Amino acid sequence: MDLFTSAWMTRSLGESVSALHLEQDGGVFAGGWDGCLKHWNVEGELVWSTRLPDRITVLAIHEGTVFATAGLHIVCLEAATGDQRWSHALEGSADSLYVFEERLYAISSVYDIEHNDFLESAVWNFSFDGTMNWIQRMDERPWTLLEFKGKLWFGLGRPKCGFSAIDSQGKSTHTSADTDSPITCGSTTASAMLFGHANGAVSNHKGKVIFSEQSAIELLYATSGGYVAALEDGTVLSRKGKTEVWFSDGDAVSVQSGGFSFQGHPTHWACRWSGSEGSIEIRNIDSGELLMTTPSDRCESIASDSNRLALGFENGQIRLWEASMFERRMLNEHETEEKDERKSALQEKLSALRDR
């Protein structure tokens, strides 16, 4: 099967894709490295296009509103039209945002080139009308932002490391992990919150290290009773408890995500990049069986839900796959291969009879 021709939708942003968001009703939002933001509806028709001040890294949609990070700014737009409601410049780069309990939380950080390090970070709290309610500054940079058990959590870098929960008034509660290594990434399920660390450790919501991998955790995807981790050395592995279920190695992984089910099993999608060549690997997330691999351009953004998965590429293309179409194409390809094998076997038998 040709993975790209089997995509339900292919669109172009016109610049390198840096952020994607899938709407519940089937629409797609995409943001770019130069600030372009586009919205397509469930039919794949372009609804609107606008331009923000700088590179878009995170998108969040809430009740007819689009929130986006754009360089130093947090921007709020009308989801139906793309018209801007308000914009707020932060202190340093706008790294992330999250809608939680009818408020918008944003993370900013200030990077010092001379010291080659982050000098200060901050958590901002906004009302949806753009009113800033409070700001909490900290020495550590929050590298990941997660919602778990009714609270908002931040995985921290040096010097404090560990992770903190923050309430609606800006008061934070810190939890130390068993390791003092910076947190680099995180992921949640309904029953678990996991953090990946720079030294290869994976810790849980109590700060307990549940396993230590062989190199830094670049990306983490929590699963039922375990996780799939993409490591700095290019290894992708699945673990249940302390048991390794499957692994693959190769070039560095730029993005990974769980995807829709194929033949009753959830899939896992990983995009690799060697520095000059890219590839996409699709696996059965339970067994690690490789369903498909294909060469690709560099991919730096991914979004998925129970029925769709979208990838955004450096060449500006956005590809979206839909579960039922993907399964039909995969099964048809398998049937075609079986028919070709039977036809080839029959031809060999006929040839052998002629040669007698």
Give me 218's structure tokens: 């670049």
Each residue's pLDDT tens digit, 125-140? 999 999 999 999 999 9
Instruction: Please give the helix or strand (H or E) that residue 342 lies within, else none.
Output: helix 323-354
Give me 66's structure tokens: 């689009």
Of the candidates 214, 100, 187, 229, the residue with the CA atom closest to the CA atom of residue 152: 100
Query: What is the Cα Rg of the chain in Å?
Result: 22
Cis geometry, peptide bond prior to residue 159 (ω within 30 degrees of 0): yes
Residue 3 in any domain: the answer is: no
CATH number (domain holding residue 121): 2.130.10.10
Of the candidates 201, 227, 225, the residue with the CA atom closest to the CA atom of residue 213: 201
Residue 343 in any domain: the answer is: yes
Alpha-carbon distance of 287 to 21, in angstroms, equals 28
Q: How many domains does the chain have?
A: 1
Each residue's pLDDT tens digit, 165-223? 999 999 999 999 999 999 999 999 999 999 999 999 999 999 999 999 999 999 999 99
What is the chain's pLDDT, residue by residue, as a tens digit (356 residues)? 789 989 999 999 999 999 999 999 889 999 999 999 999 999 999 999 999 999 999 999 999 999 999 999 999 999 999 999 999 999 999 999 999 999 999 999 997 666 566 678 999 999 999 999 999 999 999 999 999 999 999 999 999 999 999 999 999 999 999 999 999 999 999 999 999 999 999 999 999 999 999 999 999 999 999 999 999 999 999 999 999 999 999 999 999 999 999 999 999 999 999 999 999 999 999 999 999 999 999 999 999 999 999 999 999 999 999 999 999 999 987 555 444 455 555 555 545 544 44
Provide the CA 84 distance to its chain's centre, in angstroms: 26
Q: What's the confidence (pLDDT) of residue 313? A: 98
Residue 1 in any domain: the answer is: no
Strand runs labelled E in 167-287:
172-175, 183-188, 193-197, 201-203, 209-212, 217-223, 226-231, 236-240, 243-248, 252-262, 265-273, 278-284
Give me 39's structure tokens: 């919205």
Give me 38's structure tokens: 């586009």
* Residue 264 structural domain: 9-354
Provide the CA 246 distance to its chain's centre, in angstroms: 21
Q: What's the confidence (pLDDT) of residue 275? A: 96
